[in-house]
Structure 1
Amino acid sequence: MNRMIVARALRALLVACGVAVVLVVLVDWTGRALGHGPLEILIPFVAVAMAAIGLGAVQPRIDRIVERVTHHREVTPYSSLAAAAARIRAGALEEALPGLAQVLADGTGATRAVVWLAVADRLVGAAEHPPPGPGSGAETVENLAVLLARPDVDHAVPVLDGTVLRAALTITKPGAPITPGDQELVRDVANGAALLLRGVALNAELAERVRRADDLARELRASRQRLARAREVERKRLVMELGNATSDRLAALRADVAAAGAELGHPPEDAAIDSAAAQEALTRARVALDELLDRFRLIARGVYPAVLRDQGPAAALDEVAADMPRPVRLSGDLGGRLDYEIESGVYYVVAAAFGALSGGAGDGELLVHLERTDAHVVVRIEDPAAVASPEDLRVALAEESERLTALGGDLTVTSAAETADSTSSGSVELRVRLPDRLEPIVETSVGAELRIP
């Protein structure tokens, strides 16, 4: 404010001195040249007209001198609007938006002026005057109400496209009032630059959507790679399960059938036939065949559990828990059916955890709680007397953890007794967390690259 007073006083003094010099010189020179006569009366009027013409010619030089001496540049609403129009006609945004911020600051005497653009339901500071320091990112606010509540915003004018907010202009004048002239100037600049600001906001929103589309494409490729790895892991597990189920049991079944065949292969009149031995071999073969069929049923249930498809993961896990050698207590629910991929992800990881924590009948009760909260499915498995250490459980469930990662979830294993020694045992808790919908998660970085230098 002091600089403005000094600048105005200096400008008035320079103008007065210039006019006085012009009057004195013209009046004295014409008086000597023309002498006394009727024209002498017109000389002061001619001098004043020439002083006015000369003042208009030297006004920019006077302004530069005043600005150089006082470091204050005097502007008027008319000059500000003219400068804003020139900025709007600029061919590049690097000149237009920062120029508009400078026009607002100079025209209103504000210490800070910011041009905000509406991008992805947020307001992003695209340009400001004075310019921020190097390396500073664009400021963002959630909405216009939050912007108006900021302590560094003394006046704001929104730029609307119908009923849609496209931009906003703000000024900061600490310790000075917002005059009606300031309000009118900001409003006129907003109206004049409305088309430019709408176009810039739409371009920024389009750029943000393109960036999000690129992120979604990258996430899709990464998800496909994770799913491919999960399928390969599942294929290897299935091959291993089939191998373990068939190799030893089929060999024993083949031996028992061969033994029975050898005994029954003699002629009926041959006294060497041992019917008891043959019957015993067939009995063993039948038992082995029943075990093999049960094992195949178990594998088939693990590959495609019909109960999971028909009734959901809680019922399927209850069926698995019934076959556990130790008691299992299930609690909670998922609040309805989910996508099959999510339900199967929960089922397989919990079933694998049951296998890793199977133990014996005297190892205590396993506690399993299912819940759905904050758009996520959460399963907690507590083993009060775990024999395996948390590190061993992480290794045993590595494949299932990879499956969860492919679905956007995670698996954590913690222990109250876990110390620097990873072989310790005690109470163990497994926590499974999955999103309740199959949607790629892409973080929004609105305004990260929007700052106009």
Structure 2
Amino acid sequence: MNGGRALVPRLRRLMSGYRAPYEVAAAEPPQLLTAALVRNLAEGVGGEVAYAVPSGRTHVVVESWPPDVSSVVDAVGVARVDGGGSVFVMAPSRWDDEARAMLRDTAVWLGTAVRLERLRADRDAADLRARRLRAEFGTARTRLARVRDLERQRLVGAITTTTLRDLAGVRTLLRAVAEEGTGLEAAQEALDELIDDFRSVVRGVFPAMLPDRGARAALEELAATLPRPVGFTGDLGPRVGWQLESGFYHAVASALNLLAGREHAQAVTVALGRDDALLARVTAAGPLTADDLFTALGHDIERVAVLGGEMTCGVVDGSAVVTVRLAERTEPVTVTRFDPAVVARSAIYRQVRDLVREGQTATEGLPERAAWDAVAERLTMPPRLAVVGPDPEFAAQGVAAQTVAAQAVAARGVAAQTVAAETVAARGVAVLVVDAPADRVPAEEFLADDGPLSGVDAVLVSAMAAHGPAIAARRAVAAMTELVRALPGDHRLRWAVERVGVDAHEFAELDLLQDLERGDLLRGVVSSAARLLGADGVDPRSRLGLPEGATTDEIRSRARDEVTRWRAHAEHPASGGRDRVACEVLVRTAEGLFTP
């Protein structure tokens, strides 16, 4: 009798289609495990199940069954997932002790699935990093060999030139002394010059002042021997290792020898600075062009690059400018990456990530694989946004900020009106707050790939931070558009990348948000449109302006109202063509909030 009672729960589970979570884990691939566990629990309790993560005042559904679940407000059961978030049960046909046990078991295995996904993401990132470092190591080794040859040639040339020129002159003078008994003083002066020249060569190889008093003192000693006056400002801060100081000294010394090697009434200026690197900016008025600078300092530029630094040359307002930057540490800095639980909410991010992985597979063993690996690695990193003007929202959030040191800014030569930058981390993006007038023009300088302010992925308002995964996906699509051109003409990736770039509604929302920021669209209803596009949050309640406790029926009702509103706005006689296109985007967004 007791055995028959024990069979009842098992039979009930079999009839409902429920399987033990470990059976699901054994049968499903890791990337599909979360969805499979959620569906398995939904079938077991005969209701709706959602795995959701907290986002501000509400929860964002990551996986659900049925797929159209958008709210967990009416949940009758909830269990916390150790990896982050919770699993919710709504409207079950059965809710007894056995169903609660199913919920607890599923939550445990969901925690395992989330941790596995994070470990998998970490493994993929480590693999990409290893590939990139191997490539960089090979490149650095080749460049180092090149720099060694160049340095050897430079030293041999300096010593040989000095020896052949000066010794030949001394030999002639000494012969005259021996044969004619005259010219002893001239021979002595020539010998003194020869000794001074050798001292200069030795000083160039190993300046005596450098190990004792540091790079600035050694540079000042060198400047005292040059025919053109040199002025120093700034400071390099505490001493660093010999290799860094030596590399920094030789780079700046080469610039000084070039720019101050001839007499000139106007002094050369050397501005020194320090943040996480040794910084120098050498400025000199004169006739040299940028090509002249690159030709003369090409070897030094290569040498600094091998040391992990950067040496740049140019002409600004008629003056030659050479900047040297050598980081205190050459080992890679830890990079902030997306949390898999965050990006799992974005369908477009997952779609683009799969395309990138397909591109990696298609180019396995080929030289093009490195470029696909770079796209994959950058896809895991939060995008950087430039926010122009005062940003009270981030100030209100109390986000910690690190201000770039004024000396470092001056040493880099960045325009003062576009700096005083603060790097902050918030909501899955790196935000660069620009203390400048509320004008897009200064911030768009950050979009240039080769400019001094480069490295920013979008120029947006701070509310756009919630769209971090979509911005990262769009960045990857732009990179893939170039890479797929190297694939065969009939390769599936060629049209797949083009299609996702054209059809992705998330990208259309980003474009419209930027247009709304300019203020030339939908005048009078900009705030409502921006809210629907996700400026206040990407969850349905935030988009629709509903309270956290709003039910699914309320969400669908408000979404239908938004569809009606924006269709009517598009049909209004006063709406122009661009406004009508914007309304079409808004209608599609609203439809997506209630369409299963």
Report the TM-score range of the alignment, normalised by the length of the smaller protein.
Answer: 0.5 to 0.7
Per-residue deviation, 1:204: 4.9
1:254-294 Cα distance to aligned partner (Å, 9 max, x none): 1111222223xxxxxxxxxxxxxx231x2222211111110
Higher relative contact order (CA 8 A, sep 6+): 1
Q: CA RMSD in A?
A: 4.4
Residue aligned with 2:228, SS: coil
CA positional deviation for 1:248: 1.4
Partner of 1:376: 277
CA shift at 1:372, angstroms? Answer: 0.9
2:257 equivalent to 1:318: no
SS in 1 for 2:211: helix
Among 238, 247, 255, the alignment partner of 1:336 is 238
- 8 Å CA contact 1:338–1:437 kept in 2: the answer is no
- Please list, as runs of the form range in 1=range in 2, the aligned pairs for 1:8-87 lying within 5 A after superposition: 79=16, 82=19, 84-87=21-24
Corresponding residue to 1:305 among 188, 207, 210: 207
Q: Work out whether residues 77 and 185 of structure 1, in 8 Å CA contact, stay in contact via their aligned partners in 2.
A: no
Secondary structure (helix, strand or coil) at the match of 2:323 reads strand
> TM (normalized to structure 1)?
0.59
Is the partner of 1:397 in helix, strand or coil? helix
1:434 to 326, 336, 357: 326
Structure 2 CA distance for partners of 1:329 and 1:104, relative to 1, 3 Å:
farther
Inter-CA distance 171–245: structure 2 relative to 1 (3 Å threshold): farther
Helix, strand or coil for the counterpart of 2:143?
A: helix
- Mark the CA change 1:152 to 1:239 in structure 2 (over 3 Å): closer, same or farther: farther
Q: Contact 2:231 / 2:267 at 8 angstroms: preserved in 1?
A: yes
2:79–2:88 contact (8 Å) kept in structure 1: no
Residues 172-211 of structure 1: matches in 2 within 5 Å? 187-195=104-112, 198=115, 201-202=118-119, 204-206=121-123, 208-211=125-128
Residue by residue over 1:10-48, the C-alpha shift from the partner in whole angstroms, topping out at 9 and shown as x without a partner, is xxxxxxxxxxxxxxxxxxxxxxxxxxxxxxxxxxxxxxx
Letter in 2 for 1:431: T
Q: Secondary structure at the match of 2:182?
A: helix
- Aligned residue among 292, 303, 309 for 1:392: 292
Write out aligned runs for 1:238-277 (5 A).
238-263=155-180
Paired position in structure 2 for 1:100: 37
Partner SS state of residue 393, structure 1:
helix
Relative to 1, partners in 2 of residues 1:81 and 1:226: Cα closer, same or farther, differing over 3 Å? farther
Compute the displacement of 1:326 (Å).
Answer: 1.5
Asked whether the 8 Å contact 1:411–1:431 carries over to 2, the reply is yes
Shift of 1:220: 3.0
1:198 offset after TM fit, Å? 4.5
Cα distance, 1:364 vs structure 2: 0.5
User: 2:195 — aligned with what?
Assistant: 293
| Partners of 1:153 and 1:297 in 2: CA distance | 80
Distance in 1 (alpha carbons) for counterparts of 2:72 and 2:159: 70
CA contact (8 A) 2:166 2:190 kept: yes
SS in 2 for 1:369: strand
Unaligned runs of 5+ in 1: 1-56, 60-75, 117-126, 133-150, 161-166, 264-277, 418-425
Partner SS for 2:274? strand
**Counterpart residue number, 2:304:** 404
**Of residues 212, 226, 231 in structure 1, which corresponds to 2:129?**
212
Distance 1:101-1:410 versus aligned 2 partners, 3 A rule = farther
Residues in 2 aligned to 1:409 and 1:368: alpha-carbon distance in whole angstroms: 18
CA shift for structure 1 position 81: 5.7
Q: What CA distance in whole angstroms lies between the structure 2 residues aligned with 1:411 and 1:303?
A: 20
Structure 1 distance, partners of 2:191, 2:298, is 33
Contact 1:313 1:347 in 2 (8 A): yes
- Structure 1 residue 368: deviation in Å? 0.7
In structure 2, C-alpha distance between the alignment counterparts of 1:441 and 1:227, rounded to whole Å:
22
Task: Give the C-alpha shift of residue 224 in structure 1.
Answer: 2.5
Q: Give the whole-Å Cα distance in 2 for the aligned partners of 1:221 and 1:203.
A: 27
Aligned residues: 319
Task: Give 1:279's match in structure 2, choosing from 178, 182, 204.
Answer: 182
Output the amino acid matched with 1:400. Answer: D
2:573 is aligned to none
Alpha carbons 2:230, 2:269 under 8 Å: kept: yes
> What is the CA–CA distance in structure 2 between the aligned matches of 1:183 and 1:301, rounded to whole Å?
80
CA displacement 1:75-131 (0-9 Å, x = unmatched) = x99958636443123264255344235446777636x75799xxxxxxxxxx95699
The 3 A distance-change label for structure 1 pair 79 and 219 is: farther
Deviates more, 1:251-260 or 1:359-368: 359-368
**Partner letter of residue 137 of structure 2?**
L
Q: Is 2:146 the partner of 1:229?
A: yes
In the aligned structure 2, how far is the partner of 1:388 from the partner of 1:262? 47
SS of the residue 2:193 aligns to: helix
Whole-angstrom distance in 1 between the partners of 2:72 and 2:131: 35
Q: Residues 184-222 of structure 1, C-alpha deviation per residue, up to 9 Å, x if partnerless?
A: 866541214545655565455455445434443443333
Contact 2:214 2:245 in 1 (8 A): yes
1:326–1:361 contact (8 Å) kept in structure 2: yes
Q: Is the 8 A contact 2:270 2:280 kept in 1?
A: yes
Q: Which residue of 2 aligns with 1:109?
A: 48
Letter in 2 for 1:405: A
What TM-score do you get using the length of structure 2 for normalisation?
0.46
- C-alpha offsets along residues 396-433 of structure 1, whole Å, 9 cap, x if unaligned? 1111100111011112223234xxxxxxxx22322211
CA distance in 1: counterparts of 2:154 and 2:65, whole angstroms? 64
Structure 1 residue 329 displacement after superposition: 1.0
Taking the TM superposition and a 5 Å limit, the aligned residue runs for 1:127-166 are: 159-160=81-82
Q: Please state if 1:89 is matched with 2:26.
A: yes
CA drift at 1:382: 1.6
Unaligned runs of 5+ in 2: 1-10, 55-61, 341-349, 359-596
Q: In structure 2, how many angstroms separate the alpha carbons of the residues matched to 1:254 and 1:353?
A: 34
Q: Say whether residues 1:168 and 2:84 are aligned partners.
A: yes
CA contact (8 A) 1:153 1:171 kept: no
- Aligned identity (percent) is 33
Question: Contact 1:366/1:381 (CA < 8 Å) preserved in 2?
Answer: yes
- Distance in structure 2 (CA, Å) of the matches to 1:130 and 1:261: 106
CA distance in 2, matches of 1:314, 1:77: 79
AA at the equivalent of 1:233: L
Q: Give yes or no for contact 2:256–2:282 (8 Å, CA) kept in 1.
A: no
